[in-house]
Structure 1
């Protein structure tokens, strides 16, 4: 149930946050609730990735891609994820989830997520995904154009791309 409330929070925050370019960093402030905890009383490792989905929702809403996705029947698919846990999040800790598209090629979109607290990175993840539609894979050029972005992909770290292969 908590995820539903978080989704509503992200949707409301996105509406108030204004439009952003697909290459800008999005930020969402959240809290670690007791139902996020594992037996060690810190955030469960699987919950991190679930919460990072909310960062991608914020990105879709604030770039305008959400509306285009619905109209064209596109949907996102995660192909690979790599996460590093640096510090624990405990019950009632607040943190910021940052989400940023770090680049794309003709097929794949690459996203970085960070969970930060008091200037410290608690966890960092890299996501490789694509969008599918009625005609199959959506070309990244079509996707970024639908988000209103003009220009090439930001230059990506080849090590990040390789780690998600």
Structure 2
């Protein structure tokens, strides 16, 4: 149930926060709650992926993508995700989830998401996503253009791209 409240909190606060450009970073501050824990009394590895959804929701709303999704009748689909865990998040520990566009090719948009405490990286995930309409893929450049970005993609780390294939 706490995930529903977190989602509502992210949605409500996203509309009140500053707008983001496509190449800007979304940052949300969260806390490890008791239902996030596993038997080792640290944040469950699967919960990181669930929390990453919240970061993408904040980014989608604040970048103006949510408006485009409604108007164009597009919907996002995750193709794959890779996460590396560096340190454990403890009960009630505050952390930031940072979400940014890592780059794109014609089909996929790669998002980088990091769990950090201060300047210390706890986990890093790369998510490969695309947008569909009526089952047809929307070119990534069209998605970028729809939210006001006409530049080219940043260079994608080949290791990240290969890991998600």
The answer to whether TM tops 0.5 is yes
Q: Provide runs of 4+ in structure 1 moved above 6 Å.
A: none
State the superposition RMSD in angstroms: 1.1
Shift, 1:148, TM fit? 1.1
Residue aligning to 1:37? 37
Residue aligning to 1:125? 125
Matches within 5 A, 1:1-165: 1-134=1-134, 136-165=136-165
CA distance in 2, matches of 1:98, 1:123: 11
Q: Which segment drifts farther, 8-17 or 139-148?
A: 8-17
**Unpaired runs of 5+ in structure 1?**
none
CA distance in 2, matches of 1:55, 1:138: 22
SS in structure 2 of the partner of residue 89 of structure 1: coil
CA distance in 2, matches of 1:143, 1:135: 15
**Unpaired runs of 5+ in structure 2?**
none
CA distance in 1, matches of 2:138, 2:21: 19
SS in structure 2 of the partner of residue 15 of structure 1: helix
Q: Which segment drifts farther, 57-66 or 72-81?
A: 72-81
SS in structure 2 of the partner of residue 145 of structure 1: helix
